[in-house]
Structure 1
Amino acid sequence: MKLYITLLAMALSVAAFAGNKDEQAIRTMLMKQVTEWNKGNIEGYMKGYWEDDSLLFIGKSGPTYGYTPTLNRYKKSYPDAEKMGKLTSTIVSLSKLSDKYYFVVGKWHLERTVGNLEGSYTLLLKKIDDVWVIVADHSS
């Protein structure tokens, strides 16, 4: 019986560590996005997104499908550092859906000389080739 309890405790510890490792990787990726945005580097910011035609971004103008159209949408909406401003992002919740998917709810704020913007976002992240990427983003 002691062996069973010990093995169960070890299995739970390994599972918790794996979850924490994934959550830390996701938080690190999202922090890198903020850092790249604040450098004025939209291409660097986009490294957090799935580079695929199936990427889904939903903003105030409706859905955009694909990595390149999403990148172009960002470049059009934020053509220079003044329009980009300084981004602050706060994770409200980070929920594991499965070993391959996480759901993130957060808030964003842009501090800009041309007028501040803020809103909320939901992200669906998928682990692809051992890397967490955003496969769907709904920002408003």
Structure 2
Amino acid sequence: MRNTTLTCLLLLTATILVAQSRNDRQTILTTLDRQTADWNAGNIKAFMNGYWESDSLMFVGKNGITYGYQNTYQNYLKRYPDRATMGTLKFDILHLSFPGKGVAFVVGKWHLTRPEAGDVGGHYTLLWRKMNGKWVVVCDHTS
């Protein structure tokens, strides 16, 4: 009887964790879809929703490391000052995993279609953390 109870408890826990992972996965994918729509609407401020609003946010790009939400936002504004440079964004998710409790890791490809400025693209890795019940990007490495 004791083994049966333990087995049932373990199965229940595993089922809850799998369901939670599915919900978390969908939340992250929905956030990325919303960010894509915000970018394609020319709204960098709305696009930033999904990043950790902290001085500890880390963005790693071709020019090195930028720390902080506000600094990251300002860099986006400088690099993409108008709709022509922003183009149309497309994300392709190559990998999404949950290596630990409250942590997610995303690897993908990005592409900007820019008829006037020329297309650009590359890869990215995003480290997400669930903070206060909300998934946020704490580190973005885009190249």
Q: What is the TM-score normalised by the length of structure 2?
A: 0.93
* Aligned residue among 70, 73, 78 for 1:68: 70
Q: Which runs of 5+ in 1 are unaligned?
A: none
Give the whole-Å Cα distance in 2 for the aligned partners of 1:138 and 1:3: 45
Residue of structure 1 equivalent to 2:122: 119
Residue of structure 1 equivalent to 2:36: 34
* Aligned residue among 112, 134, 137 for 1:134: 137
What's the RMSD between the two structures over aligned residues?
Answer: 1.1
Moved over 4 A (4+): 1-4
1:112-134 CA-to-partner distances (Å, cap 9, x unmatched) read 01100010000110111100000
Q: Which runs of 5+ in 2 are unaligned?
A: none
* Percent of residue pairs identical: 45
* Pairs aligned (count): 140
Superposition pairs of residues 25-104 of structure 1, within 5 angstroms: 25-104=27-106
Q: What is the TM-score normalised by the length of structure 1?
A: 0.95
Shift of 1:11: 2.1
Give the whole-Å Cα distance in 1 for the aligned partners of 2:119 and 2:98: 32
Find the residue that maps to 2:48 and give its secondary structure: helix
